Amino acid sequence: MSAFGTVLVANRGEIAVRVIRACRDLGLRSVAVYSEADRGALHVRLADAAVEIGPASPSESYLDLERIIGAAQGAGAEAIHPGYGFLSENPRLAEACADAGITFVGPPREAMLAMGDKVRARQRMQQAGVPVVPGTDALSDEAEALEAARKIGFPVMVKASAGGGGLGMRAAHDEGELKAAITSCRESAQRFFGDPRVFLERLVSDPRHIEIQVLADSHGNTIHLGERECSIQRRHQKLVEECPSTAISPETREEMGQAAIKAAQAVGYVNAGTVEFIESSGSFYFLEMNTRLQVEHPVTELVTGIDLVVAQLKVAMGEPLPWRQEQIEWRGWAIECRINAEDPWQDFQPTPGRVTSYHEPSGPGVRVDSSLAGPGDVSPFYDPMVAKLIVHGESREQALARGRRALFEYLIGGITTNIPFHAALLENPDFLAGKLTTEFIANHSELLQRASDWRDQQPQTLKHFSSDARQVAAIAAAIAAT
């Protein structure tokens, strides 16, 4: 690790924009990479330089390790920031950076390997004294799985050994469901991670998904920045996150924080990372560690006042953390809504297409991290998230009020988005009361009807804006075509 002046951002969309802005704050030169589908993307326009790396398909561009390293070398980049997704948790990228003499803005390869395999990670955590959910090692066949499930006790969760992000997870409530769950999880694990191995964990009742942000430097210092509540999910993938959690007391926060620090230190972790826990009835258990920046990092930034991306870059330069644990303070409440191009009324299926009008909310306590700056395309080749709406207030009640106000002002025309669903969620009585579990959306089917009502009540001023914006976009397109 050493000082560097140019950073290649090996990603796209809003996270690439976020990293590029952090580079500019530090006086670093940024280099964007882009596929053919992203030629006119916002991150390409904001960077100091940009390199095209291949076709729209991720496997031929953003996931092509050789093209990423080649782009960095060709642009004179001394460091690579992977963002999240794509190659961010691939130890081969960290290794390739080391071989090329490029600084990897992330953890050591060995730490990624240790936490990348969920079965081995469970074993390491048990050895480190971090509580884990009762479960198994990787399973070889269905008979072994059935015997293990009987010992653990139904219901159980079948998980991919090499995976993360909830991909492929399947619940089994009895022996009849277990076979189908294993088959489905194995197929998903092979498709997403190239590794069909699965394992079992006891399915915790009424669980909340709580994660702890950690920061570690190369000088032996590790701190935690508190918890994020990530229980609002669909298909095991997060939609809303907040900091702090309504379920966590200051005493439990410190207990979980120390467990997260133990987890990070057990694998020699350096840089920003997140230790994820499942919490139920006051008990918590290790789930996994995400060896990268998280999508939901802004809520921690707003509550702690710490710029996590700047911290990542400084740690990668070899600087020690400037904070001690006792200096970390949590002020107010922050909530993040993931704004996705998806249809809540069609099981949240992606809705890529042409954005014909775009108007971001603003005002006190409102932040938008977006890959859009106006009308443009949402590609079918990539994740449907187009923006993150983050609000902050002195209390949860104020943050919720600002969130509702911001959603009221947020307009994305031309495609279906989940903005109405978020609006329905932020006024739901159980959500307002903090009665959250990972099954919240599945157990609140009335949210869809309320989202429909909210959509139909869109304010007339924004409807007029939408009409005007479409006319402006059409005129601009006509001028561009001449």
Q: What SS3 class is residue 440?
A: coil
Sign of CA dihedral 244, 245, 248, 254: negative
Strand 208-216, strand 271-280: pairing: antiparallel
What DSSP character marks residue 135? B
Q: How far is CA 247 from CA 284, 293, 415, in A?
A: 11, 24, 36
Which residues face 353 on adjacent strands?
Answer: 378
DSSP letter assigned to residue 294: -
Cis peptide bond prior to 207, omega within 30° of 0: no
Contact 388, 14 (CB under 8 A): yes
Q: Residue with structure tokens 């509540």?
A: 229
Name the active-site residue from 18, 67, 197, 292. Answer: 292
Please confirm, yes or no, whether 292 is among the known catalytic residues. Answer: yes
- The DSSP-derived string for 56-98 is SSGGGTTT-HHHHHHHHHHHT-SEEE--SSTTTT-HHHHHHHH
Q: Give how far Cα 170 sits from Cα of 182, 183, 202, 290, Å.
A: 8, 10, 12, 20
Catalytic residue numbers read 292
